[in-house]
Amino acid sequence: MLWGNFFNGTDGVIRKGVFMNKKLLAMGLSVSMIAGMLTGCGNASDDAQASTQPATQQTTAGQTSDSGDEPITLRFSWWGGDERNAATLDVIEQFEQLHPNVTIEAEYGGNDGYHDKLATQLASGTAADIVQVDPEIFPQYVNTGDYFIDYQDYSNMDLSTFDENYISLEINGRYDGKQLGLPTGISGAGILVNQDLADAIGLDFTKAYTWDDLFEMGKKVREYDDSMYLLCANKEYIVNLVVFNYGKQLCGKTLFDIESGQLNITEEQMKQVMEYVQKLYDEEVVAPASYQAAYSGDNLQSDANWIAGKYVCALTYISTIDVMVAANDSANYTMSQLPMLDGCTEAGWASNTPQVIAITKTCEHPEMAVEFMNYFFNNETALATLGATRSVPPTENARKICSENGKLSEVTMEGANIAAAAGGTPNDKISSSEESKTILFDAVETIGYGATTPDAAASEIIDSLSSL
């Protein structure tokens, strides 16, 4: 057992001690590492125990420090599972070896209660110098106080390694032109293509295409083999990757106004979205709703037709690409972007991040904190160490290193590069809520079964969403 007994810290906060030093802890954690496994926002981390532990100071022959002799202590707070923790501790140690006067105190544990505690610390000025934050919670901190530095104010932070379309999104840390957080990984969506089938049928996913193009593609697939379908999907994926993105492209904005909470999409526009969904079923672009019901939720990899190679492509997230490939690894795969409506001003689909890392304004040594962040995000040794422990890495160079080390598949890297270049707006939090999604899931399902019309479904959806 790694964790020691409870004790009171000097600040009066109850902390959990550690019996082992950092190096031994990292060794112990490394035993449980699984190379190449991608972690998202850290669901597995919720069970991790909290720890506050200073990283050791060591020097390596031939390495020098350019930070002077002034003793500097930084606190770095994050949540994560064993693999993430061990990799982060290793990177801390690497940095300390280059900067012998710097000590980075590692504060890490599970996600439960993390953000409530952080909110209190920010308000009282006692937060760690460097903090990992959920990007959906980050706006609450930004809107309630001036807590974080702007990375753009520091010349020792190289931001050019991030795709501008990606890093400029608010959900990835940019607010009112200020880069208040840096994204730790990349999440996004796309279409995973069984390239062997696409070539055999004569379908080209390498160029931009529209939503309507899917119907012509689906027709060709059914003519080629009537046991096949173009698109592997279920009601959940149709809502998340078709309804939301088609809807945003149609109305030019998110479904709800973030400030007022009022619907941006009209009933007529929602009718158009539902008409498109109905046509997906009617034109046999997707399998029947009755068939899809056996593979609900995040379970597309279990679809017997996918395993048997009976779909040309699948709606997917970057985080699930490798899972889908593993379910039918006999095929060759490529990634394609989601379709676009002709003349739309909003791409709809966008890449976001599982976490952002910010530096607090109470940090006494912001230059050194930024120096550490630059090492964390841009140094090749650090990138190789961190791998995919915070999801698919946020920069192309980091993804390349992971790919070379066998921690990231080529097709996943391709999908991440496509997603990083997307400039769409992420979903608003109201439409992403469980209540909103349930309304839309039910509507898509009833459309798929032919139990309602797009007109009636749209009316019911708008009424239900308006009451949230």
Distance in angstroms (rounded) separating the CA atoms of residues 357 and 134: 9
Distance in angstroms (rounded) separating the CA atoms of residues 425 and 240: 14
**Residue that wins the pLDDT comparison between 21 and 267:** 267
Same domain, 322 and 205: yes
- Does residue 370 lie within any of the structural domains? yes
Residue 311: predicted pLDDT: 98
Q: What is the mean pLDDT of residues 27-50?
A: 38
Residue 26: predicted pLDDT: 41
- Which residue from 394, 466, 413 is spatially nearest to 163, judged by alpha carbons? 394
**Which structural domain range is residue 219 located in?**
189-349+433-466
Residue 7 belongs to what H/E stretch?
strand 3-8
Packing angle, helices 22-30 and 82-98, rounded to 10? 140
Q: Is the dihedral of CA 117, 123, 129, 132 positive or negative?
A: positive
Same domain, 74 and 164: yes
Half-sphere exposure of 19 (CA within 13 A, CB side): 6
Q: Looking at the predicted structure, is the pLDDT value of residue 1 above 60? A: no
3-state secondary structure of 417: helix
Neighbour-count burial of 220, counting CB atoms closer than 10 A to its CB (0-12 exposed, 13-18 middle, 19+ buried):
middle
Same domain, 335 and 385: no
Amino acid occupying residue 455 = D
Q: Looking at the predicted structure, is the pLDDT value of residue 249 above 60? A: yes
3-state secondary structure of 169: coil
Report the mean per-residue pLDDT for the chain.
86
Same domain, 103 and 173: yes
Decide if 106 contacts 128 (C-beta within 8 A): no
Same domain, 254 and 397: no
Residues 6+ apart with CB under 8 A from 463: none
Q: Give 107's strand partners.
A: 52, 77
Q: Could you tell me what percent of the chain has a pLDDT over 70?
A: 85
Q: Looking at the predicted structure, is the pLDDT value of residue 64 above 80? A: no
Distance in angstroms (rounded) separating the CA atoms of residues 288 and 30: 45
Q: Looking at the predicted structure, is the pLDDT value of residue 420 above 90? A: no
Q: What is the mean pLDDT of residues 63-75?
A: 71
**If DSSP states are collapsed to H, E and C, what string results for 65-111?**
CCCCCCCEEEEEEEECCHHHHHHHHHHHHHHHHHCCCEEEEEEEECC
Distance in angstroms (rounded) separating the CA atoms of residues 124 and 340: 47
pLDDT digits (tens, 9 = 90+) for 186-221: 988 999 999 999 999 999 999 989 999 999 999 999
CATH code: domain of residue 231: 3.40.190.10
Q: Looking at the predicted structure, is the pLDDT value of residue 456 above 50? A: yes
The answer to which of 4-18, 19-33, 65-79, 429-443 has the lowest mean pLDDT is 4-18
Residue 407: predicted pLDDT: 87
- Does residue 427 lie within any of the structural domains? no
Could you tell me the pLDDT band of residue 91, with boundaries at 50, 70 and 90?
A: very high
- Does residue 426 lie within any of the structural domains? no
pLDDT digits (tens, 9 = 90+) for 156-189: 999 999 999 889 988 899 999 999 999 999 988 9
- Does residue 39 lie within any of the structural domains? yes
Total domains in the fold of the chain: 2
Could you tell me the pLDDT band of residue 404, with boundaries at 50, 70 and 90?
A: very high
Q: What's the pTM?
A: 0.76
Same domain, 131 and 246: no
DSSP state of 145: -
Q: Looking at the predicted structure, is the pLDDT value of residue 319 above 90? A: no
Residue 63: predicted pLDDT: 33
Same domain, 236 and 358: no
- Does residue 385 lie within any of the structural domains? yes
Residues 6+ apart with CB under 8 A from 42: 79, 80, 81, 84, 111, 354, 355
Residue 298: predicted pLDDT: 85
DSSP state of 194: E
Could you tell me the pLDDT band of residue 68, with boundaries at 50, 70 and 90?
A: low
pLDDT digits (tens, 9 = 90+) for 95-138: 999 999 999 999 998 888 999 999 999 999 999 999 999 998 99
- Does residue 428 lie within any of the structural domains? no
Could you tell me the pLDDT band of residue 379, with boundaries at 50, 70 and 90?
A: very high
Q: Which long-range contacts (CB under 8 A, 24 or more apart) does 459-462 make?
A: 459/267, 461/270, 461/274, 462/263, 462/265, 462/266, 462/267, 462/270
Could you tell me the pLDDT band of residue 30, with boundaries at 50, 70 and 90?
A: very low
Same domain, 180 and 196: no
**Phi first, then psi: what are they for 323, rounded to 5°?**
-65, -45
Same domain, 8 and 157: yes
- Does residue 425 lie within any of the structural domains? no
Same domain, 337 and 456: yes
Same domain, 247 and 307: yes
DSSP state of 256: B
Q: Give 109's strand partners.
A: 79
Same domain, 232 and 290: yes
Could you tell me the pLDDT band of residue 24, with boundaries at 50, 70 and 90?
A: very low
